[in-house]
Homo-oligomer: A and B are copies of this chain.
Amino acid sequence: MPEHITIKDIARILNISVSTVSRALRDAYDVNPETREKVLHLAKELDYKPNFNASGLAGGGTRNIGIILPFITNYYFSMVITGIQEVAYAKGYNIVLYVTNDSPEREMDVVRNLNTQNLDGVLVSVCSDSAANNYFEQIIAEGTPVVFFDRVLGSVDASKVVQDDYNGAFEAVEHLVKQGFSRIAHIAGPAGLDFTKHRLAGYLDALERYGLPVEPAWIVHSGFSQADGEADLEVLWEGKERPDAVFAVNDRKAIGVILQLKKRGIRVGPDFGVIGFTDDPMSAIISPSLSTVAEPAYEVGKQSCELLLQHIVRKNNFQVREITLPGVLIARESTRRS
C-alpha cells in the first residue's frame, strides 16, 4: 500500500505545526527562512509529493489544466499540445485531455460535464459547428480561467491565441498572383469557424488588391479532410469556368487537390498552382511538394498555456488578452511555374 508522506509527517518530525509546513511549502508570506529551509529540505529528503486532491479540495489549486479540442490526430493539434505540455510540465501542471472528435454534441457533453473543480483552468479549441457557446460562457462566469486557441469563439469574451489567419491567407494568394496565376479559387473550411472567415477575408482582399475577379463559384466550403479537398476540386472542375490555382484552407485539403489533379494528368506547379496552410510534414513529402503558410503551432501552444497560467495565478485579477502569431510563407514546387 502506498505509504505517502504528508505534511503532517513533516510537521511531526520537525516538531512544528502543519500550517507552518503548508506555508513553507508554498513559500507563502510570513515564514521564517530557517524554518522554510528545514521544511523544504526534509520534504525533498522524504520525497514528499503534495496530494492535489487534498489541496484542490481545500481551496488551493489542483495543478490540472484541461485541454478541449477537436482532434489530436493531425500535425497542427499535436504540435500545439506538445507546446502546451512543455510549459505545463515546466511549471508543474498536469494536462487533462478532452477530445471532441469535432462533434458539437460531444463537445457540449464534455463542457457541460466538465469538472471545473478538478481543473485550475482550461484551454480550448472549438469544433466545427460548436454550439457550446453558452456553456463556455458559464464556465468563465463561474470563475474558471479559459484561453481559446486556433479555433476561437469570437463572441465569447475570453483570452485568445491564434495565428495570423488573415495575413497568412493574403500572402498565400499574393504568392500565387506573383507566380502568374490569375484565376484563383479558394477551398475553404466550415463556414461557421472564425478562422475560416479570416482566411477567406485574406483571400478576397488579396484578389481585390491585385485586381482579380471574385468568382463566387470558386469559393467552396467543406470540412478539413483530404477527401473534402478531393471532392472540392471535383466541384471546381465541373464548373463552367475552371480556375488555374487553388488556395486551400489547410494542407490536408491541398493535398487532396494535388492528388486529384495528378489523377487528371494536370502538371501541378507549371499548369496549376496549389497552396495550403499549416506546413504539415506531408507537404514536404508529397510530389510535387506543397507550398504553404507555416503555422506556429508549437508557439500557439506555448503561449496559450503561459497565458492561462498567468490567469490562474492572478486569479480573477487578469486582463483578457488576444495574441496573434505570424505565419511564414513557404514556397515549394506546387506553385513553381518552371
Residue positions of A touching B, CB distance < 8 A: 1-2, 4, 49-54, 56-57, 62, 64, 71-75, 78-79, 81-82, 85, 89, 94-99, 113, 115-118, 142-144, 226, 255, 259, 281-282, 285-287
Contacts of A286 in B (CB 8 A): 285-287
Cα distance A1–B142 in the bound complex, in angstroms: 5
**A79, A96, A117 — most chain B CB neighbours (10 Å):** A117
Nearest CB in chain B: distance from A303 CB, A: 18
Q: Is the CB of A285 within 8 A of B142?
A: no
Contact assessment for B99 and A97 in the assembled complex, using a CB-CB cutoff below 8 Å:
no
Q: Is the interface of A mostly helix, strand, loop or mixed?
A: mixed
Say whether B73 contacts A85, CB under 8 Å: no
Q: Contacts A4-B117, A94-B96 given: A53-B62 contact, CB under 8 Å?
A: yes
Chain B nearest CB from A308 CB (Å) reads 16
Chain B positions within 8 Å of A72 at CB level? 72, 78, 81-82, 85
Is there an interface contact between B79 and A118, defined as CB atoms closer than 8 Å? no
A208 to B81, CA, bound (A): 44
CB neighbours (8 Å) of A1 from chain B are 142-143
User: Do the beta carbons of B113 and A85 come within 8 Å of each other?
Assistant: no
Q: Which residue of B lies closest to A258 (CB)?
A: B285
Q: Is the CB of B78 within 8 A of A116?
A: no
Once the chains bind, are B64 and A96 in contact (CB under 8 Å)? yes
| Distance of A123 Cα from B282 Cα, bound (Å) | 29
Do A115 and B282 have beta carbons less than 8 Å apart? no
Chain B residue nearest to A116 (CB atoms) is: B2
Q: Which residues from chain B contact A95 at a C-beta distance below 8 Å?
A: 96-97
Contact B142 A2 (CB under 8 A): yes
Q: Name the B residues within 8 Å of A143 (CB-CB).
A: 1-2
28 A-B Cβ contacts within 8 A? A49-B113, A49-B117, A51-B117, A51-B118, A52-B117, A52-B118, A53-B53, A53-B57, A53-B62, A54-B57, A64-B96, A72-B81, A72-B85, A73-B79, A78-B78, A82-B99, A85-B99, A94-B96, A94-B97, A94-B118, A95-B96, A95-B97, A96-B96, A96-B97, A259-B285, A281-B282, A282-B282, A287-B287
In the assembled complex, the Cα of A259 lies from the Cα of B97 at a distance in Å of: 35
Chain B residues near A53: list those with CB within 8 A: 52-54, 56-57, 62, 117-118
Write out the residue numbers on chain B whose beta carbons fall within 8 Å of the beta carbon of A282: 281-282, 285
Contacts of A82 in B (CB 8 A): 71-73, 99
User: Residues of B contacting A94 with CB < 8 Å?
Assistant: 96-98, 115, 118
